[in-house]
Structure 1
Amino acid sequence: MSTTPLLLRLSLTPPPQKTLRSTTLFTHPLKLNTLSTSPPSLHPNSVQSRRLPPPISASYNTTPVPDRLISAAAYFFPFFNGLQYGRFLFAQYPNTLGLILNPFLPLLSFYRSVPYSSYLAFLILYIGVVRNSNVSRYARFNAMQAVVLDVLLVLPMLVQRIFNPGPHGIGGKIVMWSHSVIFVAVLACFVYTFGYAVMGRTPKLPFVGDAADRQF
């Protein structure tokens, strides 16, 4: 069998050509959108909008004038009852203390002219203000704090009557010293509580304010 036709066919057959793959890189159209520099819009339900802090309102809550007047008037009750502890200081400094009390003399004279004024003031403050749900909590707290302060002022007199120290000697000096300290404390408490009540702020005395706050 001759091989000439076979060689002739092999020589006439063109060599196989290699197909070149395209080197062009195609970018996904969706990925192009991620390179956009425009900021995302804040939708009301988006995460960015929920993270924004709420707007701050410049509203102020002021204490009504009637509540201030009730609170300020309540502190006259322990102040007038505590004046009895200042008899020694009044004897030593009549002019100085007289100038402090001169504005309150008409009200003090009226208070002492009413029979059982201390008991009536206690009932008015405790029943009419503290236990009255129609009164604001601000006025009720101040009235209760005044009542607690007045009750505490009764204790030194009870102790003095129990031990009954004489007017002279060490016992008399202890009484004079303790009464003077109590009067200064009462005067300081009155200035502090009365001033804060007039401004509409809450005056809270140590221990006394905590005892009054437990009632609510």
Structure 2
Amino acid sequence: MQAQALGQLRSRAARLGSTPLPVRLPTCARAGSRPSRSAALTVQARYSPAPRSGSWSPGGTPGIVDRVLAALPYILPYFDAVAYGRYLFHLYPAAKAAIVPFLPAMSLYHSLPFGSFIVFFGLYIGVVNNRSFSRFVRFNAVQAILLDILLALPRLLETVLTPPASGWGAQVYIYSQSFVWIFTTMWVVYGIVCSFLGQYARIPFIADAADQQIG
């Protein structure tokens, strides 16, 4: 009997040794997979980043007042860019129709001593740094200010390099001046239209700087 029992134990041990036991090795969770509730705790948090395009906020769109206030700052770069279009207006009188409705306001704006600086700092201090205004208004104000700052670069270049009076250099100078006006007017129109639609007008490179400015 003892020999028979010992033989049965040996046969069972042999069967167990030949059968692989299921072993689960720890693995890294794949990105995007949901971990088991028994294996990890789920921590939920809500993060609402500043919207970059589309609607004003997840809860709604800006009101009429915010849309108008967001569009008004783009008048600053438009008024300051008019000097770059003088050659274009002379060559193509029809292009002057784009500024005729604003000529009285432009004349008043440029007649004020340091009018550009007054409006510039007024926007920056009174709107950009004023938390009572919505982020939508402050973002467009910063973007308009940065666009206006870019207009100072060609003026600084003119103080270093005297514009040529004739030849191909004069032609390049005239075309570059006209391009500055067209470039600025294009983005001004884009900013105003998007503002009235209640959407963020994101000008390349300038929009990223505006985001960093207002946080």
Specify the alignment match of 2:19 in structure 1: none
Specify the alignment match of 2:156 in structure 1: 158
Specify the alignment match of 1:211 in structure 2: 209
Specify the alignment match of 1:46 in structure 2: none
Q: What are the equivalent positions in structure 2 for 1:61-100 lying under 5 Å apart?
A: 61-94=60-93, 96-100=94-98
Once residues 170 and 159 of structure 1 are traced to their aligned partners in structure 2, the CA distance between those partners, rounded to angstroms, is 18
The residue matched to 2:61 in structure 1 has which SS?
A: coil
What per-residue deviation string (whole Å, max 9, x for no partner) do you get for residues 88-131 of structure 1?
Answer: 1011112x123222222232222223221100110111000001
Specify the alignment match of 1:176 in structure 2: 174
Counterpart amino acid of residue 138 in structure 1? F
Give the CA deviation at 1:169.
2.3
Counterpart amino acid of residue 120 in structure 2? F
Change in 2 beyond 3 A, CA 1:174/1:98: closer
1:105 pairs, out of 100, 103, 106, with: 103
Specify the alignment match of 1:26 in structure 2: none
Which structure: larger Rg? 1
Structure with larger RCO (C-alpha < 8 A, sep 6+): 2
Instruction: Give identity over the alignment, percent.
Output: 39
Unaligned runs of 5+ in 1: 1-58
Give the CA deviation at 1:174.
2.0
Contact 2:70/2:137, CA 8 A, preserved across alignment = yes
Once residues 59 and 133 of structure 2 are traced to their aligned partners in structure 1, the CA distance between those partners, rounded to angstroms, is 21
Specify the alignment match of 2:192 in structure 1: 194
The residue matched to 2:165 in structure 1 has which SS?
A: coil
Once residues 177 and 100 of structure 1 are traced to their aligned partners in structure 2, the CA distance between those partners, rounded to angstroms, is 18
Change in 2 beyond 3 A, CA 1:91/1:144: same
Give the CA deviation at 1:60.
6.1
Q: TM-score, normalised by structure 1?
A: 0.69
Counterpart amino acid of residue 122 in structure 2? I
Counterpart amino acid of residue 213 in structure 1? D
What do you get for the CA RMSD once the two structures are aligned? 1.5
How many residues align? The count is: 157
Counterpart amino acid of residue 102 in structure 2? F
2:143 pairs, out of 142, 145, 148, with: 145
Give the CA deviation at 1:188.
0.7
Once residues 201 and 110 of structure 1 are traced to their aligned partners in structure 2, the CA distance between those partners, rounded to angstroms, is 31
Unaligned runs of 5+ in 2: 1-57
Contact 2:85/2:177, CA 8 A, preserved across alignment = yes
Specify the alignment match of 2:49 in structure 1: none
1:115 equivalent to 2:129? Answer no
Once residues 78 and 142 of structure 2 are traced to their aligned partners in structure 1, the CA distance between those partners, rounded to angstroms, is 14
The residue matched to 1:202 in structure 2 has which SS?
A: coil
